[in-house]
Amino acid sequence: MKPFQFISATNPGDAVARLTKNPEAAFLGGGTNLLDLMKEHVSLPNEIIDIGNLSLKEIKATATGFHLGALAKNTETANHPLIRKHLPLLSKAILAGASAQIRNMATNGGNLLQRTRCSYFYDISMPCNKRVPGSGCAALEGFNRMHAIFGWSEQCVAVYPSDMAIALSALNATVKVKTSVAERLIPFKDFHLLPGNHPEKDNSLAHGELITGIEIPNNSLAAHSAYVKVRDRNSYAFALVSVAAGLSLNGNLIQSAHLAMGGVAHKPWRALQAEDFLKGKPATIANFTKAAELEMASAKALPNNRFKIEMGRKTLINALQLAFKG
Amino acid sequence: MENSTKSIGKGIDRIDGILKITGKATYATDYPAKNMAYAVLFKSTIAAGQITKIDSTEAEKYPGVIKVITHENAPRLNTKGGLRGGALLQGPEIIFHGQHIGIVVAETFEQATAAAHLIKVEYNQKAEKTNFEKLAETPTMPKGKELADQVRGAGKSAMKTAEVTVEELYETPIEHHHPMEPHATMAMWEGDKLTLYNGSQIINGAQTAAAATLNMKPEQVRIISPFIGGGFGSKGGQWANLVLTAVAAKMVNRPVKLALTRQQMFNSVGLRQRNMQKLSIGATKEGKLVALAHEIISHTAINDEYIEPCGDCTKIMYDVPNSLITYRVVPMNIILPTYTRGPGKSTGSFALESAMDELAYKLKMDPIELRIKNEPPKDPSNGKPWSSRTTVKCLQEGAKAFGWDKRKAEPGTNKIGDDLIGYGVACGTYPARQRDSSAIIKLTLKNKVVHAKVEIAASDLGTGTNTILAQTAADGLGLPVNQITVKLGDSDLPPAAGSVGSVGASSFANAVNDACIKITDELLAKSGKQFFVRPTAAQLMISESFTDFQTRSDSKAPAEAEKYSAHSFNANFAEVRVNSITGMVKVTRFLAVTGAGKILNPKTARSQIIGGNVWGIGMALTEESVIDPRYGNFATRSFADYHVPTNLDIGNLDAMFINEEDLIPNKMGVKGIGEVGIVGVAAAVANAVFNATGKRVRSLPITPDKLL
Ligand SMILES: Cc1cc2nc3c(=O)[nH]c(=O)nc-3n(C[C@H](O)[C@H](O)[C@H](O)COP(=O)(O)OP(=O)(O)OC[C@H]3O[C@@H](n4cnc5c(N)ncnc54)[C@H](O)[C@@H]3O)c2cc1C
Ligand code: SF4
């Protein structure tokens, strides 16, 4: 670990000002990701700005939906009566992630910004374009069992590891951000990025910007949603594949399907082809299967993760069935 | 009356339990010292080649740094002193990725860590040998004599005469020990005397290896290791970090602490090697075995050989006239493999007991019946009689307790909702041995109360050695356990075997028991009296008003034991639930039935067995370390990638012991349970997965992708 200054921000404006001033500073949320990255010498901030005291911890209903404070803990969010009742998909997704201890520390903002678990990214003796742009991608022809099947580039094949964000993607959330001059809202689909030629950039946040909250619009998915996570052990493992599914139904007819996949891409993967196919169709196994096949048709496997295509297909069908059953 | 006062056989709580849960038990880095300095190791980032330049200028200038030690300034050591794995900073040669190449010593751990990152190393890289699959195509003969080809009868050629055959390849990956307490040492010099606080499974082994490596006499080196936070074999033989701590302490002339990080544990203290095992079984239609062959390929280090004896179970488990066991090896640029819980037997039994299961399905026979049908009347490997053999009992009593009759013989037919249920069984074994050990007993009488102190350079891995020795002494002296103090884990104490290879309990307990008999004899002689009923040592101390008395006894295995084949045996029963959509497996119930002679303390014994079961379940379902052959590094390098099983992976674990008296291997009839608890476990789980799904996974671990 590299020595660093430790400062507690007094208000959001102070936090943003301090971070903006120092290109080598970093915010500290729960620290469950940042500290690991510092111990591994992957992140080397010289100044830690603790935002733990900021009053961005509220979870509440708003006129148009729900607001999650950026600094509310994952555990609190998942167990909040409002969230359990109206956004069970989000609650389930959060509880499928990490361990109870980590969720107790992890903040909603920090969760969105957690970095990939690609082991080459963590191993500073390895080439990695995300860590050192231009150094190459060790995973492309290496051990890539956990890596992407959608949207990857030759520059980076990593996947984004959050479970919570998969549900937020399906729920059409918006990320609320404070910049040094204003506030801005970033729709979830634009928040995380595909790697393209700039895998060093995980998301569209600029240095100096603070996530203040997450907004989730009202929806009619609560009765018909499911989060299915396939992993190497029954708890405390990142997803091989996960699916967040929500169905808005009119009897047996699907008015709209909300489907996002985890463990398959550099960002939450909205299964748009499957969604389009299902719109207006009856909720039948045949249709679920067709939708899943359509979506997986564009997947491109790496040498060690071919299984994810079949696993993705099955998990999509499974999640749709479970969501339908309610 | 007599019985109720006995302590042996009672499941009493650990005598050091309170110390542990209150944080008062002292592990290696828990000892304070004035003027302590902190050392951090840094490691090679290539797998093969030579260091051409190490530039430590920046690091040396870093605040708090006292010294940087590399092969260029380290003292010359004896590399054949008995430490495992090399990496002693004796030259520029690199033979595996993550080899220690230097030490930074600083005022704080954080300073040493930060400075280590400033060191610039240049290499002359060589083509590395890191691709096991490729290298396994051209393996070589091992050097070890015990690993020569073992042929019985017509060997493998008898497969031709079989009516039913199974011939399959079984694979097990690299695994790590990862004890809760990472390897750590505190070194302190006083003149030419060295004290090393270091978790050591073999106290005297650590002492002699450290002394020899440092070109010192054993009596100049003292090892202190009263508590160990697990080891599983990795603290049996000692590794470079032990002596490098002493080197650092000498060079900075201060006490030094050196603790490996969890990350460094992956490539510093050995590992369980990857094995490819070809298992062939031939049988008659009635299920009588006619041929058995076990052909094994493993890897070892470039400069040293360690090979798990995967054929050991195969050698003795079944009655078969023709058999073959072969070992082949590939030297690779990977750290030296080492003893890892149930060495060879846990991985070997996965192949053997999976193949037996496959044979049972082919024969349409119950796998328990198949095993009983091939029960050997004597040890097939050497013709010696068994001192006792409990396999059949384990199978039968276990089947009853587990409800084996509820198993559906046809795979894939037991379904609840999306889940498939399966039952599996597999057997295991581990040798029972006693090794030379000495013990001193010191008795004192104060205010009419006798107190005993037991001294022995034994080790307690966390398994309960302290407790069982107190129980042994209590019964041997006629005292309650709370009047016994056990002192172990110090090389100044009488020499003893180690907590390795399941010899600990038998060697230590017999030494203490012998010392109790001897001290009672001596007290009797000293009293000069004749007694109608032999009094206990405690009674003699009081009746004769002896205030202090002590004796030492040196114990050996009985000569008679050599004429027999003595082993612990088990049968493992697993029930699994496999989600038919996701392929995720949960072990809902697991029962291990073990015949291990006298069980000194059923509570600590149960913990030992279920601990072994958990690791076996990890072996079956989750644990795997992957090497990237292009670099020779681990691509699984933290607990986020290297998965040990969690509570949710395992439901109910249960352990049963066969009531067995076998006094042949040693006077107390103690056979050892540390290793056998993991043997056969992975096969039982894999067999249950087959019963549940109809899918036979022959390459561990059984992750969801393999069951799609
Ligand atoms: C062993 C392990 C297993 C795990 N398993 C899972 C899993 O299965 N599923 C899963 O989803 N997650 C998993 N996690 C990840 C865990 O969910 C994240 O570490 C956690 O959500 C991060 O939140 P934090 O508040 O601790 O973030 P921090 O570590 O504090 O911060 C992460 C990053 O976000 C920045 N940041 C934090 N808050 C803000 C803000 N308000 N505005 C701007 N920037 C900010 C920080 O500067 C830092 O760069 C696991 C973690 C570990 C260690
Ligand atoms: S996949 Fe991405 S994170 Fe992993 S090594 Fe390649 S560039 Fe780095």
Q: For a pLDDT cut of 90, what percent of chain B falls above it? A: 99
Residue range A223-237, pLDDT digits in tens:
999 999 999 999 999
Residue in B600, B620, B518 with CA at minimum distance from that of residue B175: B620
CB atoms within 10 A of CB B697: 21
User: What are the start and end residues of each CATH 3.30.390.50 domain in chain A?
Assistant: 225-325
* CA torsion through residues B212, B213, B214, B215, sign: positive
Q: Does B699 touch chain A (CB under 8 A)?
A: no
pLDDT at B5: 80
pLDDT beyond 90 at B4? no
pLDDT at B1: 36
Q: What are the residue ranges of helices labelled H in chain A? A: 12-21, 34-39, 74-79, 81-86, 88-95, 100-105, 108-113, 119-122, 164-170, 188-191, 272-278, 285-296, 307-325
For the domain A225-325, what is the CATH superfamily, name and number?
Answer: CO dehydrogenase flavoprotein, C-terminal domain (3.30.390.50)
Q: Which of B586, B631, B636 sits opposite A234 (nearest CB)?
A: B586
pLDDT at B374: 98
Residue in A202, A155, A318 with CA at minimum distance from that of residue B579: A318
| pTM beyond 0.90, yes or no | yes
pLDDT beyond 90 at B650? yes
* Beta carbon of A130 within 6 Å of any ligand 2 atom: yes
Mean pLDDT, residues A124-141: 97
Domain A5-52 has CATH 1.10.390.10: no
Q: What are the residue ranges of helices labelled H in B142-223? A: 203-213
Mean pLDDT, residues A119-135: 97
Query: Whose structure tokens read 């590939």?
Result: B330
Interface with A, mutate which of B582, B642, B685 (most A CBs under 10 A): B582
As annotated, the active-site residues of B are 675
CB A84 within 8 A of CB A76: no
Query: Which regions of B478-547 does DSSP assign to beta strands (E)?
Result: 484-487
Distance to chain A for B116, nearest Cα, Å: 10
Q: Which of B263, B643, B708 sits opposite A232 (nearest CB)?
A: B643
Mean pLDDT of chain A: 97
Mean pLDDT, residues B105-131: 97
Mean pLDDT, residues B617-627: 98
| A318 → chain B, closest CA residue | B581
Main-chain phi, psi angles of B126, to 5 degrees: -110, 160
Residue range B547-577, pLDDT digits in tens:
999 999 999 999 999 999 999 999 999 999 9
* Beta carbon of A118 within 6 Å of any ligand 2 atom: yes
Pairwise CA distance, residues B242 & B225, whole Å: 13
Pairwise CA distance, residues B426 & B360, whole Å: 12
Distance to chain B for A40, nearest Cα, Å: 9
pLDDT beyond 70 at B3? no
CB B266 within 8 A of CB B628: no
pLDDT beyond 50 at A176? yes
Is the CB of A2 less than 8 angstroms away from the CB of B114?
yes
pLDDT beyond 60 at A129? yes
Q: Does A311 touch chain B (CB under 8 A)?
A: yes
pLDDT beyond 70 at B153? yes
Mean pLDDT, residues B442-464: 97
Residue range B373-406, pLDDT digits in tens:
999 999 999 999 999 999 999 999 999 999 999 9
HSE of A178 in the Cβ direction (CA atoms, 13 Å)? Answer: 18
Which residues are near ligand 1 (CB < 6 Å)?
Answer: A 26-34, 36, 51, 70, 74, 97-98, 102, 105-107, 109-111, 113-114, 161-164, 210-211, 238; B 640
CB B321 within 8 A of CB B658: no
Q: Which of A40, A126, A145 sits opposite B631 (nearest CB)?
A: A126
Is the CB of A119 less than 8 angstroms away from the CB of B631?
no
* Beta carbon of A146 within 6 Å of any ligand 2 atom: no
CB atoms within 10 A of CB B373: 17
Residue in B497, B485, B517, B671 with CA at minimum distance from that of residue B596: B671
Mean pLDDT, residues B29-36: 95
Do you know the residue count of chain A? 326
List the beta bridge partners of residue B386: B565
Q: What are the residue ranges of helices labelled H in B129-173? A: 132-135
Write out the DSSP string of B36-59.
-EEEEEEE-SSSSEEEEEEE-HHH
Mean pLDDT, residues A308-321: 98
Q: Is the peptide bond before A303 cis (omega within 30 degrees of 0)?
A: no
Mean pLDDT of chain B: 97
Residue type at B145 in one-letter notation? K
Residue in B264, B265, B291 with CA at minimum distance from that of residue B280: B291
Residue range A244-298, pLDDT digits in tens:
999 999 999 999 999 999 999 999 999 999 999 999 999 999 999 999 999 999 9
Residue range B173-185, pLDDT digits in tens:
999 999 999 999 9
Is the CB of B705 less than 8 angstroms away from the CB of A234?
no
Gap from CA of A202 to ligand 2 centroid (Å): 12
Structural domains of chain B, ranges and CATH numbers in brackets: 37-127+179-261 (3.30.365.10), 150-156+272-432+564-707 (3.30.365.10), 435-555 (3.30.365.10)
pLDDT at A2: 81
Residue range B578-612, pLDDT digits in tens:
999 999 999 999 999 999 999 999 999 999 999 99
User: What are the start and end residues of each CATH 3.30.43.10 domain in chain A?
Assistant: 5-52
